[in-house]
Structure 1
């Protein structure tokens, strides 16, 4: 493969070549950087990247003997963390977030920081464009990660999801996203919007890459993995109460997925959730508003003129709902978890939309997250 085509490899493919001594990490990184230089003026995925520092780190990693390399070998010190806000424009953390520290310890090379919406909490796009169609949104809040992975500027992107910030950009950009169960990965060192909802996640162009990351972070199901044959599998298509909002692209995609599974011999059933779930999105929003108000009250009090009106509204409405209403929302959500567990236990997997439709035209808005919210508050695993 020509050096300029190396950027198209998945992380798993790169690792195999590095282990077999058929590829130097430096050559792979040079290919990624060439792709970045060619494409980022059109995609605008990066908030910070230092190519020379990245190349130097790659050279250093190439010098490590094979027996001493970490599990993510191949995949800069003191990167600025600006949260897409002038409040932290010159902020340089002295310590890595827990997730980044784990990745570094396992030999990962951190390319840089990708663009997010303001504090990864608003729906106003950060200027990033969808690499498949620059007139369309790449989604958010993890806009840059989704776009950079889809555009083959990096093989793996990191993100956080409070409502739909990993799953939605993955859908809009045509890549794979994984939002693990809430609190399966520590949020230490990250700016939190909602302690109940915020979940660290990954984006990649292959399932194998996501599996490798899951292994690094010791993500485990309650039951050991087993081989599943499609002619013995049973799937539930769950449309939820917001299904009437589905656009033609989503409707067609769900119908096609169900038909492909049926053609492969699987049993596919359409499942309607009990009416108690109809108000779950509203409950999720209630929890989010209450917790986001607390999370951003500092910025509202100390730097009001440097934050958007949207963020200020979140903080200003810190007491929108009473503590009694807040706890009632928690209790109602908790009571629904055994019900969805009972339903899910009857199926191999649940199929449900990742987005309302194709990525919307315009980069000013990151798109509706209505199809994500109830699953995020459910603290379920999303792919």
Structure 2
């Protein structure tokens, strides 16, 4: 292990740190101290945290050092998006309505991480109810740019090396886009594989729990604990993946930087001996971004019924407009939308007939300048409404000096294979 990285363990990936913690060659206390020093250095500019407790985190780290190994996440600091309930931190869901809300229980995903030995360092900033009204967080690469949303604080905290792992959720693009803007790995597993109990609901058909790390192995480690899927951590490849380059119907919205990232990645994969084929989606898929928005808005109108009825003055204007759109989606339209999604799912075998993974833009380009918007979720809506596993892999930097990368999407029920293939791709890209 590189001496400098041992002196500053915030430079270790979560997977590397986990190995050293299991071997007891790195103490949880030393690791936690390093991240707390990093928070003191970066947080005043990045503003990724809603709350954190250094004293409690250090006490938990010392207790872990004295006791037996707890599990795969033993001693790893964890950031938790402020959409998850936590018994020891307030949960505000990004809204003034819940400014002083203190749950008595952890969300199931948080409890599973603690059971596996993770130390919840604090709560990271989310947008309002995981929608589009941003919090204060800034992009750690340039504070004049957005970090994306809605898992803005989680992605920024990992990118700024204030924490090795963080929880996020995705309804539209809330893991993939902030991962792209902040230059970290973000993984959204297939729909329903990680429990959502104790997570503030926005859309019953779409909300998905996932996470952020600095490598594919990191996100596999984190999400495998919550999904009870130890096989996700076995990243052994039997054969090279076949990659389908998919520009989608929204290619015109991709910036030159996003297009170049996709093309550069294709060339690097071909150099590594990968078969890369062009994939054109069936015409049905052209409607899925709009259908996703309809479903999300309609379900948000129901999920946030109490808030819009009893606290309308505390909702942002953009959220009120979103709920108005949701009310306009009547029952027949909603049934039609879900039927169209089911029809598209039935065509996925055709889409993946010649490839194991699709490769598409993760976002329209580099992070938008300004903090008033969190960016366009366009390039993730299709895959979110289909419930497919998707992963953002950073590949470099664009002309503004901000991160760029690509999104990989696997077939339904292929989370293990998707992680294995993405791990291999990551290794190949890092070699070149």
Q: TM-score, normalised by structure 1?
A: 0.94
| C-alpha contact (below 8 Å) 2:133/2:318 kept by paired residues | no
Q: Give the one of 76, 90, 106 matched to 1:80.
A: 90
2:12 maps to 9
How big is the shift at 1:317? Answer: 4.5
Contact 1:150/1:175 (<8 A) preserved? yes
Looking at structure 1, the residues matched to 353 and 152 of structure 2 have their Cα atoms a distance apart, in angstroms, of 33
Superposed CA deviations along residues 230-264 of structure 1, whole A, max 9, x for unmatched, are 4xx42110111111110011100010111111111
2:224 to 207, 212, 215: 215
1:244 matches 2:252: yes
Q: 1:107 aligns with which of 88, 93, 117?
A: 117
Of 180-189 and 76-85, deviating more is 76-85
Asked whether the 8 Å contact 2:90–2:101 carries over to 1, the reply is yes
Residue number in structure 2 paired with 1:135: 144
Q: Does 1:42 align with 2:45?
A: yes
Q: Deviations over 1:174-199 (max 9, x none)?
A: 11111001111111111111000110
* Number of the residue aligned with 1:20: 23
SS in structure 1 opposite 2:278? Answer: strand
Runs of 4+ in 1 over 6 A off after TM superposition: none
Deviates more, 1:295-304 or 1:322-331: 295-304
Q: How many residues align?
A: 377
Q: 1:290–1:112: structure 2 CA closer, same or farther, 3 Å change rule?
A: same
Partners of 1:127 and 1:364 within 8 A in 2? no
Residues 280-299 of structure 1 aligned to structure 2 (within 5 Å): 280-299=288-307
Provide the TM-score with structure 2 as the length reference: 0.84
2:199 matched to which residue of 1? 190
Tell me, in whole angstroms, the C-alpha distance in 2 between the residues paired with 1:325 and 1:239: 28
Gaps of 5+ in 1: none
Distance in 2 (alpha carbons) for counterparts of 1:116 and 1:179: 17
Structure 2 spans left out of the alignment, 5+ residues: 77-85, 392-432
| Worse-superposed segment, 251-260 or 74-83 | 74-83
CA contact (8 A) 2:89 2:123 kept: yes
Partner of residue 335, structure 1: 343
Equivalent position of 2:156 in the other structure: 147
- The alignment partner of 2:168 has SS state of strand
Please name the residue that 1:169 is paired with: 178
Distance (whole Å) between structure 2 residues aligned to residue 260 and residue 229 of structure 1? 17
Q: Deviations over 1:91-132 (max 9, x none)?
A: 1100110100111111110110000111111x2321111111
Q: Distance in 1 between matches of 2:297 and 2:75?
A: 40
2-structure distance, mates of 1:318, 1:272: 31
Match for residue 375 of structure 1 among 365, 383, 386:
383
The answer to whether the 8 Å contact 1:296/1:314 transfers is: no
Q: How does 1:174-323 map to 2 (within 5 A)?
A: 174-216=183-225, 217-219=227-229, 227-230=237-240, 233-323=241-331
- Over residues 43-98 of structure 1, what are the superposed CA-to-partner deviations in whole Å (9 max), with x where a residue is unaligned? 000001111111111111111134xx222111285211011211101111001101
Which structure carries more strand by proportion?
A: 2
CA RMSD after TM alignment? 1.9
Q: Retained in 2: the 8 A contact 1:297–1:315? A: no
CA contact (8 A) 1:4 1:31 kept: no
